[in-house]
Structure 1
Amino acid sequence: MTENFWKDKYPVGVAAEINPDQYPNIQAVLKQSCERFANKLAFSNMGKSLTYGELYELSGAFAAYLQQHTDLQPGDRIAVQLPNLLQYPIAVFGAMRAGLIVVNTNPLYTAREMEHQFNDSGAKALVCLANMAHLAEAVLPKTGIKRVIITEVGDLLPPLKRLLVNSVVKYVKKMVPAFNLPSAVKFNQVLAKGRGQPVKEANPSSGEIAVLQYTGGTTGVAKGAMLTHRNLVANMLQSKALMGANLNDGCEILVTPLPLYHIYAFTFHCMAMMLIGSHNILITNPRDLPAMIKELSRWKFSGFVGLNTLFVALCNNEEFRKLDFSALKATLSGGMALQLATAERWKEVTGCAICEGYGMTETSPVVSVNPLQNIQIGTIGIPVPSTQCKVIDDTGNDLSMGERGELCVKGPQVMKGYWQRQDATDEILDAAGWLKTGDIAVIQDDGYMRIVDRKKDMILVSGFNVYPNELEDVLATLPGVLQCAAIGVPDEKSGEAIKLFVVSKPGATLTKEQVMEHMRANVTGYKVPRAVEFREALPTTNVGKILRRELRDEELKKMGKK
């Protein structure tokens, strides 16, 4: 595909190019937006709101504390392990203003997963929720983390409400297991000590790393994608160009149910929507539909960012269907394939069409999106501005339009590479800047693209990547397991569900319950299998490699899907 091919594919008013050097770094975007929209609301959560001016003040206090009360230096890594709370943007932007590299960490991680990410990134500090501090206590002695900041769910609420919320979470719901981290500092103490103190504002070059975002890539070993300031600024501008085309500066209210530690929500809500001064309604636990719908009823929201499973659950909820959708003008979908029936149902319920896009951690993440002005359901839209796409065959040759091949991407949002893994970087990113996505796509004559298959064996559970290698490595540590394989099978609720195949060692008496218990203890909830099947043998190649695709084909036949 020639570079010129895409230039006339954009809607009227949308430029084919953005300037990725418009801002030198994320700090410049933050400062500009917080000054421009100082009195506008930036984030709301649990009845408490922060204006852009307050966000800048509090992130400054956080940065001042890091600079004046710790030995952390610019370039050091800080792991941020928080759900969608007001503390998240304060900690992330504060860390950046102090010159630190943010390591986004899933709060649902097990101790094993935390240990790998903390050690691989070389993190020296951690910001985490009290709910998982007991895991941090177990893990930290095995890592280089010396500074820990602990926050509770209600810490930024008014005093009485804070006491009530934190007490209910801890004593009534019993969601905070006991922990002992005597050297940890409380989040509110950090803000108190840093408030009013001078900040030596970091001014990193555009090519410096802003965020280490962990992903399994094409294997189960979690790798840190090095996302530079230029990567994230570029994707912010690209996302705004296509997804924010009909959104007005300082006027929009956006529902934020996807976790900010996930690159999609991070780039969109913390970056692109900050640029236009939008108000983000943070949903801490989107699985609690009644609480989420109660929160939504308080706002005339104009934008909603979600994924297929969430859209299905909401449309099936009677209380959600009663909400006022008169202001809703943009619904964005990513993270997993959008089903046609879901798109139609959402439009029927809300009156707003869903705009589907495509991306990956390694591309900061947005590669393509359906322009709001011209949505084609069933496609992933057109590349965002300043982005080229092509499809190649197994030998690397470019294919023509309409032919199936591996989708490759080139643009300013493509990562610098994997942290300290040059070999893995070289496998996916070539010298000319083309990134292999591992997904099989077709490019249509009109420039819209469709994903038709997945080259890699990754399993996509409710928008989260699950890698068979990781699951198999974990299961292999269970005594009595001789061979095992993990595959994804179609599932109405989560897109795909995980199924494990197990061959027991001679004489072993393994049960499904033992397997499930072992997996629950060692992997995050969404990685726990839905089904386990014991077999005498697994299909393999002549060199003994297990044929996952053959197992998957068998399952699809059983389900009548092949």
Structure 2
Amino acid sequence: MFYKPEIAYDAVSKVWSSRAEFDHFAPDLSIGEIIYREMQRHPQQIAQISVTERTELRRDELHLNSKAVASYMRQLGLLQTDIVGIVARNTTHLSAVAYGCFYMGIAFHSLNINYEQATISQLFNITKPRLLFCDGDEYEMLKAATKQLDCYIVTMRRHVAGVMSIEQVLQTPVPLDFKPAKLQQGNNQTLAILCTIGTPKAVTITNSRKILNGNLMLTTSDVQYSHRTLDCLTSLITTITTAVFSTKRIIADNAFDAEQTLRLIETYKVSWLLLAPAHFGSLVSSPLFERTSLDSVQHCMFTGGRCSLRVQQALRQRLSSDGMHFAYGMTEVGSWATLNWNFDEKPTSVGRPTAGFQLKIIDERNAARGPNELGEICLHNGQYWAGYFGDPQESQQLRDAAFWFHTGDLGYVDADGFLYVLDRNKEIVKHQNIMYYHNELEELIARMPQVADVCVFGIWSERNGDEPAAVVVKRAGAELQAAEVVAYVQQHVAAHYKQLIGGALIVDDLQRSPNGKINRAANKSHFLQVKGQIEKSN
């Protein structure tokens, strides 16, 4: 039997709507004010355990550290119009930096540690942070990336001589009358800034209660684990909800390790597991998977891409309840727009809209479509959005005049109101949760003097998500081998996620649509067919 949250379908407008939102907290309180109040509850309860740094913080300790970070920002004279930059792993004091920003009403702009220097420089030149928290591992690169900015840097781990450390920041005296700041723009004010794909855009996240959607059942007995870093919406959600709902949070600052994750699930009795699809693929493939107890896991959630049904079913068989949940949304809407509570009945769906969301499917003429009809997925969250920081033109292209977000994803809604996503945006490669446009690699490969044309796409794998691959047309009379294309990319791109992990194929011509445009799906299909034939012959 389906779990049916209050959801309605309007046959005239062809819009699916969830129930209206309800407030658990006074409507005038910001996310920072809510966290400030809730962190004072259960002061002796363990708030966070770092399995890599071997640290443990009680809620009162984390709350004091957060106030010290906020007090340090006040000493520097930071205002709510300023931005704080973050490029850091999940270390012991990163949560205090986030909460300190929330207490001050200052938005932070968080970037992935794997971004190239040029990308970081471009993004931070958009928001111009006055204060930057980073790991010592990347200090020199970040110093170079922000050399044109008046930016003060604090290191979070592996500290650099002569540079302020987070431990020094935590020594800042906290005034006895310390209170979190009131937001100058109310709850329409930006809470955080994350990043989107391709041409870098800084996505503003609003101080909205919707960020709690899908987490309202959390209690003080829950133990949360998410391996993603703070540049990701799911990590932002986990950072906020662990404070609001007084859960215990497990963190790690190393690269994802399946065996380590399985051990910590069993050791700390994780009940709320939120990972990327590729991470779940690694867990299932681990030799420890069948020998590890998953009895504590009540909710196993993933978002940000597809996870094979084989992996989902392998996980489901190890769970004591229907705890498999696929969430769907986009960074721009600031929360999960849909959530599937019914894996056993609807294993390939991303679920129904969460509280306060509306959903519709449109055709090429922007006309709404009905149940079981295919089209582009559009979302409406009924809240203010400041758009892409400093880029109103791009903001208007994503969100139309009626405030509908056009996702670019293809899907349909069935007769029970469950959304199915058939294809993510075709212009995106998403490798190990880092996203970029295909044309970034295409433009690079096209610089090779032997190359006439090129098409790049992602070959999906359970472990990595998209593995970039290319089909290449060589110039007339030129000599070119697939291995040379792979090597060229290696020589000119430092980022591991932009390597041609899926390989390359030399072809006579690219597959094209009737109007002459490159057909990415057809080129990918041809690539897989040829590779399959080669593997069989070997």
Q: TM-score range by the shorter chain?
A: 0.7 to 0.9
CA distance in 1, matches of 2:364, 2:97: 44
Matched, 1:17 2:21: yes
Matched, 1:109 2:131: no
- What code does the residue aligned with 1:533 have? L
Matched, 1:226 2:204: yes
Alignment of 1:104-503 (within 5 A): 104-141=110-147, 143-152=148-157, 182=162, 184-195=163-174, 199=178, 201-204=180-183, 205-216=186-197, 220-230=198-208, 233-236=209-212, 238-241=213-216, 244=217, 247=218, 249-267=219-237, 269-285=238-254, 287-352=256-321, 353-371=323-341, 376-412=346-382, 415-475=385-445, 483-503=453-473
CA displacement, residues 500-544 of structure 1 (integer Å, 9 cap, x when unaligned): 3445678697823532323542x3x22322113345654567998
Cα separation, partners in 2 of 1:251 and 1:547, compared to 1, 3 Å: same
Q: Who is 2:68 aligned against?
A: 61
CA distance in 1, matches of 2:276, 2:363: 30
Q: Which residue of 480, 505, 517 corresponds with 2:490?
A: 517
Q: Who is 2:498 aligned against?
A: 527
Cα separation, partners in 2 of 1:50 and 1:60, compared to 1, 3 Å: same
Q: Who is 1:165 aligned against?
A: none
Q: TM-score, normalised by structure 1?
A: 0.83
CA distance in 2, matches of 1:403, 1:559: 34
Report the CA distance between 1:277 and its aligned residue: 1.0
- What code does the residue aligned with 2:295 have? S
Alignment of 1:64-103 (within 5 A): 64-68=71-75, 70-103=76-109
CA distance in 1, matches of 2:101, 2:451: 44
Report the CA distance between 1:51 and its aligned residue: 2.2
Q: Who is 1:554 aligned against?
A: 526
CA distance in 2, matches of 1:72, 1:546: 49
- What code does the residue aligned with 2:252 have? I
Q: Percent identity?
A: 19
Cα separation, partners in 2 of 1:95 and 1:306, compared to 1, 3 Å: same
Q: Who is 2:536 aligned against?
A: none
Cα separation, partners in 2 of 1:339 and 1:509, compared to 1, 3 Å: closer
Cα separation, partners in 2 of 1:186 and 1:462, compared to 1, 3 Å: closer
Cα separation, partners in 2 of 1:481 and 1:189, compared to 1, 3 Å: farther
CA distance in 1, matches of 2:508, 2:399: 40
CA distance in 2, matches of 1:446, 1:372: 11
Q: Which residue of 30, 49, 52 corresponds with 2:59?
A: 52
CA distance in 2, matches of 1:404, 1:509: 41
What SS does structure 2 have at the residue aligned with 1:498?
Answer: strand
- What code does the residue aligned with 1:225 have? V
Q: Over the residues paired in the alignment, what is the CA RMSD in angstroms?
A: 3.2
CA distance in 2, matches of 1:383, 1:17: 12
Report the CA distance between 1:474 and its aligned residue: 4.6
CA distance in 1, matches of 2:331, 2:303: 12
The answer (yes or no) to whether the contact 1:6–1:447 under 8 Å persists in 2 is no
Aligned residues: 514
Report the CA distance between 1:23 and its aligned residue: 5.0
- What code does the residue aligned with 1:307 have? A
Cα separation, partners in 2 of 1:338 and 1:290, compared to 1, 3 Å: closer
CA distance in 1, matches of 2:382, 2:250: 29
CA distance in 2, matches of 1:28, 1:443: 38
CA distance in 2, matches of 1:373, 1:481: 47
CA distance in 2, matches of 1:3, 1:303: 25
The answer (yes or no) to whether the contact 2:89–2:229 under 8 Å persists in 1 is yes
Q: Who is 1:163 aligned against?
A: none
Matched, 1:4 2:8: yes
The answer (yes or no) to whether the contact 1:18–1:234 under 8 Å persists in 2 is no
CA distance in 2, matches of 1:476, 1:132: 31
The answer (yes or no) to whether the contact 2:510–2:518 under 8 Å persists in 1 is yes
